[in-house]
Amino acid sequence: MEKIQVNKIISELTRKIRDISSIEDLEKIRIEYLSRAGLINNLSKKIKVLSEKERSEYGRSLNELKQEVSSLISKEQKNLQSLTKKEKVDLTTPVVPTKTGNLHPITLVTNELNQFFHYYGFSIADEREIEDDFHNFEMMGVPKDHQARELQDTLYIKEPNILLRTQTSSVEARYLEKFKPPIRIVCPGKVFRNETASKSNGSLFHQYQAVYLDKNVHMGHLKWMFTKALKFILGEDTEIRFRSKYYPEVEPGLSPDIKCTFCNGKGCDVCKQRGWIEIAGGGIIHPNTLKYANIDYKTYSGLAFGWGLDRVAMARFNIKDIRLLYNGSIVYK
């Protein structure tokens, strides 16, 4: 066998080994070269037609070829086995960016609620956090002499008209002014009140406002929506009760409470010994609010409600103190 033929076979084998990525592919190459029906065994059959001198040289070249092929295949087998235990890294593959950190619990529940209400045809609305008195209070049925306007409750930028919004109802007010019914919007966002921090209250917290304005909207729609959404975000086994409650911007009004998951309704610091946690409030939009927005309240009716997103996140992720959502504590494990 000529030396150049050996080099050609080795060169071709090396190329094939370089292109494989698994032990299974290598086994196919081994069969191709070293099996009984393989290349080297077929080459050995030519010995019987050669002269005695040619046989000696041919046999020596054939043995060298077989040893070289076996060595290359054995070496690659060890490489593949080693990479299988670890991980075979293809340096030519584009790197997928690794995820750094996690979303905040408030962001997580907001995103999930956005998906839920988007399924039912609601759009996401946003508005300013620094509001005027009219859209934050007057249009929402809170008169000038209402205690909520006092400095003890409201954070004013400039008295008596410019303030940090105390409720996401101000988004509702502005959208009712700008758009004609039918309207379906949800408005997640921060609100601010001058409150002493506790396990269940803070001066900065998050609300999730929703407005549905159309013909023949009634309280049955609101109760269904509350029930469906609460069980979606907190689980089907969530226990809910409804209480009649007064809110100046709606008439009538109701509040859904969830059984406290921290004490299972027995009473604790989180639920203030009540066994239930107030999670939201809503009702049928007051006719006066529709009048302010120049909407015919005899033709259209609507529902509006606001959720306390912080309390939803607390119940969802078993967070016992609302202050843990904002204190910036990072615990390394």
Distance of alpha carbon 56 from alpha carbon 182, whole angstroms:
97
How far is CA 18 from each of CA 9, 25, 216, rounded to the nearest angstrom? 14, 11, 72
User: Which residue type occupies 89?
Assistant: V
pLDDT digits (tens, 9 = 90+) for 223-248: 999 999 989 988 888 899 999 998 88
How far is residue 203's CA from residue 194's CA, in Å, rounded to a whole number?
5
Cis peptide leading into residue 252 (ω within 30°): yes
Torsion of CA 13, 18, 24, 30, to 10 degrees: 20
Domain residue ranges in the chain:
3-85, 105-325
Place of tokens 């930028």: 157
Low-confidence ranges of the chain (pLDDT < 70): 1-4, 83-90, 151-152, 200, 328-333
101 φ/ψ sector (left φ>0, alpha ψ -120 to 50, else beta): left
- What is the structure's pLDDT at 220? 94
d(CA 156, CA 285): 26
Phi, psi dihedrals of residue 210, rounded to the nearest 5°: -135, 145
| CATH number belonging to the domain at 105-325, selected among 1.10.600.10, 1.10.3720.10, 3.30.930.10, 3.50.50.60 | 3.30.930.10
Sign of CA pseudo-dihedral 123, 124, 130, 136: positive
Euclidean distance between the first and the last CA atom of the chain, given in angstroms as a whole number: 67
pLDDT digits (tens, 9 = 90+) for 183-203: 999 999 999 988 877 776 778
Q: How many degrees, rounded to 5, is the angle at CA 171 between CA 168 and CA 174?
A: 150
In sequence order, what E strands does 137-289 have? 156-158, 162-164, 183-192, 204-214, 240-244, 250-259, 276-278, 280-285
CB 209 within 8 A of CB 186: yes
Return phi, psi of residue 321, to 5°. -135, 120
Note the pLDDT of residue 22. Answer: 82
Helices 309-317 and 219-234: crossing angle, nearest 10°?
A: 40
Tell which residue, 75, 87, 84, has the closest CA to residue 18.
Answer: 75
- List Cβ<8 Å contacts ≥24 apart for 229-236: 229/113, 229/116, 229/117, 230/256, 230/258, 230/279, 232/112, 232/116, 233/109, 233/112, 233/113, 233/116, 233/312, 233/316, 234/258, 234/312, 234/315, 234/316
CA separation for the pair 238, 221 (Å, rounded): 19
